[in-house]
Amino acid sequence: MARYLSASPRPPTLIPPRRSRASPPNPNLNLNLNLNLNLNLNLNLIPQPSHSPMLLSLLLPFFFLPATPEVDPSEKKFTSKIDHVVVYQQGAQVERVVEVSLLAGGTTVVIPDLSTAIDPSKLRITGSGDFTVLSISHRYHTDTLKGKETETERQRLYKRRNELAQQINIENGQRILFDREEELLLNNRAFTVKDSGVDLERLIKANGYFRERFLAIHTGRAAIDAKVASINEQIGAVDEQILKLPALETKTSLEVIVRVEATKVVKGELVVSYWMQNAGWSPSYNARVVTIAEPLRLEYQAMVRQQTGEDWKNVGLTISTGMPSANRSKPDLMPWMLDGPSFVPKGQASGAAANAWLRSQPYNPNVRDVRGQLYDVYGNPLVGAQVWAGGSVVTTDVNGFYTLGVPAGVTAVNFAYAGHTQESLSVSAPVMNVALSPQVMQLDMVEVASAREDMDDALFSRSAKRVAARGVTEDEFKYSAVSVAYSPTQTRFEVASRHTIPSDPQEHGVRIIEHRLPVEYLHQCAPKLDPQVYLTAHFTGWEELDLLDGRMHIYFEDDYVGESQLRLDFVQDTLAISLGPDMGIQVRRKRTVREDNGALLSGKREYLREYEFSVINRKQVPIHLTLEDQVPLATNEDIEIERQKTDGASVDDVTGKVVWDLKIAAGKTEKKVLRYSVKAPKDLPLRIE
């Protein structure tokens, strides 16, 4: 039902009350009543039906009746299905395919049942076939899903309810007449005759008349109240019948209208591309180590989420590392004034302009983690700035970068730095780069400009491979075929297998690719703090893997070790991944010497400590292990520290860290000894083991 007509009930007509059967007053009775007891009552006091302000508001709003919309005889509806989706870190490009069969001449192709969340201004139509597209437009269509079969009964009940409501208005109009008559009688109760006082005979006659009229008024009002109560009971019964009817449910959808022209009967294809904001993906990794003699298997997968209102059933997927919504340009270096006030160059905007685009973005409930950079108006990073959302608080690093988890229900992120204005922005995107302005001085700002990509990587460009031939077989990996396309601004992973991703709050894993990395495995242990030996994988060339910050699940020798975060902020040439404890290696730290001796002549006390370290390699392969301990340090010149034996370890003079770099064969044991002495005044308290 696309259109409705309105029908309003006829306004009720008020019926004046009947005349009382009581005899009119004696015209000789001079009572100073000023009544005109013909009870004409000046009918101007009676509310007229067309102006009455006293009608009860019991009538329902206009009720809409269905009407048949005008239909273009050349219109022809074609169903569409989602064929491919390009998922970005925030947002998705959806492609629907429509198979059309056209007659010679003009045809209006209607593509129905599209989501109303689609922005029609961002629709793009492409296709193939021997026809010409003349125009593209859109409209919204509403269908009745439930309750249509009971529409006649619903209208009958509403009509009956309006009739009963009119009867109540009529009865209330009559009650008003009784109220006016009673008011008139009460305002004329003086029974004295001028110059003669009270006339007893006339008083008796007047008393009889007043008694008769008041009795009639009260009787009439009681009858009206009883009738109104009865009508209200009938209205209640009608309301119950209405409530028992199935509720009227409707659904509104978007229809795309494409006017085409063909010179002959032809079949072709239309592709509708559009942007949906409530979708995205975040990276997740599985790091698997079967044995330390084999390469590290790093499984790269995308956790896809979408709440667009339409299910993606059996669709092809492309996972893109791009951010179409990110549009911050490179910050410009401005004059660095060592003294004097800073200035605003001519033509520069105010401090708030740099974040104008972020302020214009709405809250996005799908964003759960936010990262980015804080910088000042010169483009310099703000180190140690505070970023918080709800109870989650972090500080920026030495490069001004931050990563923040957004608690559930929190809609805004706050940014603050000493001497700068505080910013509060809606959680709108996974990457939020924010500029903070000085609180006092007006400085130049960084302009925000949108960056366009090449046509091959444009938002609504279709992959040439998909246009040329669907279902092309790509090189096979272990789990699914993936082709990787590179551009200056993003990497696209074309997943060959098709997936079904419903519109719900859940994340759905899509395996992208698996890397087998030749890594150097390094075992590390600091037995003074923890006797467990931790395994770390080190590898170079990670920049070529198109990795992003994300969660990492670690498996070692087929056992699940735990979860960590892959952070690439501070990584340089070598990327290290901690794989957790390795129970196949045992380290023991044992104190073998403890001597505390006092010297009478020197007035100093000497402490001697020795520790023995045993490393047992129970694995069937050799290992590379760094064993850490420490020697004490002191700032007091009266304290003497002597490193008597380090057994080949390197010692850091600044931190006191002692490190053995060991390579231990399979099934072998390595032992090391650390011995040192401390001399200090005997009255000086020391913290020594």
CB atoms within 10 A of CB 199: 16
Q: Do residues 525 and 513 touch, judged by C-beta distance below 8 A?
A: no
Nearest to 281 by CA among 398, 194, 368, 339: 368
**Residue 193: its pLDDT value, please?**
56
Residue 89 pLDDT level (bands cut at 50, 70, 90): confident
How far is 445 from 420, CA to CA, in rounded Å? Answer: 13
- Residue 653 inside a domain? The answer is yes
- Residue 40 inside a domain? The answer is yes
* Whether residues 209 and 140 fall in one domain: no
Reading phi first (left if > 0) and then psi (alpha if -120 to 50, else beta), residue 41 is in: left
Domain termination site, one of 409, 426, 450: 450
Cβ neighbors of 642 (< 8 A, separation 6 or more) are 676, 677, 678, 679
Greater pLDDT, 232 or 343: 232
- Residue 555 inside a domain? The answer is no
Reading phi first (left if > 0) and then psi (alpha if -120 to 50, else beta), residue 402 is in: beta
The two beta strands, 369-375 and 434-435, are: parallel
- Residue 346 inside a domain? The answer is yes
* Whether residues 227 and 354 fall in one domain: no
Greater pLDDT, 468 or 658: 658
Domain termination site, one of 450, 480, 510: 450
DSSP state of 643: E
CB atoms within 10 A of CB 307: 17
Range of the domain at 603: 585-681
- Residue 327 inside a domain? The answer is no
Of the spans 375-379, 581-585, 626-630, which averages the highest pLDDT? 626-630
Question: In the block, which residue shows the tokens 């805004």?
Answer: 412
Residue 367 pLDDT level (bands cut at 50, 70, 90): confident
* Whether residues 180 and 240 fall in one domain: yes
Residue 347 pLDDT level (bands cut at 50, 70, 90): very low
Q: Is 658 exposed, middle or buried (0-12, 13-18, 19+ CB in 10 A)?
A: buried
Compute and round to an integer the Cα radius of gyration of the chain: 44
- Residue 376 inside a domain? The answer is yes
**Residue 668: its pLDDT value, please?**
92
Q: Looking at the 3D structure of the chain, how many domains does it have?
A: 4
* Whether residues 353 and 445 fall in one domain: yes
How far is 333 from 261, CA to CA, in rounded Å? Answer: 56
Reading phi first (left if > 0) and then psi (alpha if -120 to 50, else beta), residue 457 is in: alpha
Nearest to 386 by CA among 414, 425, 358: 414
Q: Do residues 184 and 40 touch, judged by C-beta distance below 8 A?
A: no
Does 97 have pLDDT greater than 90?
yes
**Residue 52: its pLDDT value, please?**
37
Domain termination site, one of 450, 474, 501: 450
* Whether residues 159 and 53 fall in one domain: yes
- Residue 595 inside a domain? The answer is yes
Q: Which tens digits make up the pLDDT trace of 208-251?
A: 888 888 898 899 999 999 999 999 999 999 999 888 888 777 78
The domain that contains 599 carries what CATH number? 2.60.40
What's the chain's average pLDDT? 76
Does 62 have pLDDT greater than 80?
no
Lowest mean pLDDT among 153-157, 190-194, 531-535: 190-194
* Whether residues 140 and 163 fall in one domain: no
Q: Do residues 292 and 521 touch, judged by C-beta distance below 8 A?
A: yes
* Whether residues 255 and 205 fall in one domain: no
**Residue 274: its pLDDT value, please?**
92
* Whether residues 385 and 412 fall in one domain: yes
How far is 69 from 110, CA to CA, in rounded Å? Answer: 15
**Residue 421: its pLDDT value, please?**
86
* Whether residues 231 and 96 fall in one domain: no
DSSP string, 249-317: EEEEEEEEEEEEEESS-EEEEEEEEEEEEEEEEEEEEEEEES-TTS-EEEEEEEEEEE-SSS-EEEEEE
Q: Do residues 642 and 677 touch, judged by C-beta distance below 8 A?
A: yes
Nearest to 303 by CA among 579, 543, 87: 87
* Whether residues 93 and 215 fall in one domain: no
Mutual orientation of helices 151-186 and 200-244 as an angle, nearest 10°?
170
* Whether residues 421 and 403 fall in one domain: yes
The domain that contains 418 carries what CATH number? 2.60.40.1120
* Whether residues 25 and 101 fall in one domain: no
CB atoms within 10 A of CB 240: 10
Greater pLDDT, 549 or 476: 549
